[in-house]
Amino acid sequence: MKVIGVTGGVGAGKSEVLAFLLEHYNCRVIMADRVAHQLEEPGGKCFEPLKVLLGADVLTPEGKIDKQKMAARIFGDAAILEQVNGIVHPAVKAYLLEQIAQERVARKFDYLFIEAALLIEEGYTGIVDEMWYIHADVSVRRQRLKQARGYSDEKIDSILAKQLPEEAFYKHCRVVIENSGTLISVYQQIEKELGEYQCQKQ
């Protein structure tokens, strides 16, 4: 089983790539953001540490972490953000390492794809076999974010300013999937890398 990290800037189209992989290849996909959300739920590894850090008033009436309140608490406070990341990121990485180990033993899948925007920044290059960079031109990403998410230019500018320069992605990623054009072109690039369809849904 090969473990492949999938990264790229917001609006690059990672979701479309992962959907195609799931449909046509014998693989499992783990999205780091979803893992983080699970770990922040009551009973999850991050719940109690976050509650202690942010205070009980960050909880909803049902006893869950209110994501809007947490975001408001973090916004503009670099120290709090660093502490939250210090709780969540190591827990996510530990979960991923556990899943990789389990899947290598189970030998059920040909590929395990791990998607995260911060794969490079958080040192995930050391736990995957190779990295894929999903690239799209900034103008294309802007259009997608406006149409799909209704983001303003100001919000997009703020997001882009926080992301790694393209040179960093090219440096760390063996494969670059160009997603500025049609999805058919994207699918052809994937097939070139992984071979023809290995459909798991027979």
The single-letter code of the amino acid at 88 is: V
Do the domain assignments include residue 73?
A: yes
pTM more than 0.75: yes
Q: Could you tell me if 114 and 87 lie in one domain?
A: no
How far, in Å, CA of 195 to CA of 198, rounded?
Answer: 8
Do the domain assignments include residue 172?
A: yes
How far, in Å, CA of 36 to CA of 152, rounded?
Answer: 26
The phi and psi torsions of 2 (rounded to 5 degrees) equal -100, 135
Listed residues 48, 80, 108: the one ending a domain = 108
Q: Confidence class of residue 38 from pLDDT cuts 50, 70 and 90?
A: very high
Does the pLDDT value for residue 124 go beyond 90? no
- Residue 80: give its domain's CATH number: 3.40.50.300
Q: Write down the pLDDT at residue 125.
A: 86
pLDDT single digits (tens) 81-105: 999 999 999 999 999 999 999 999 9
Q: Could you tell me if 115 and 189 lie in one domain?
A: yes
Does the pLDDT value for residue 200 go beyond 60? no
Q: Write down the pLDDT at residue 202.
A: 37
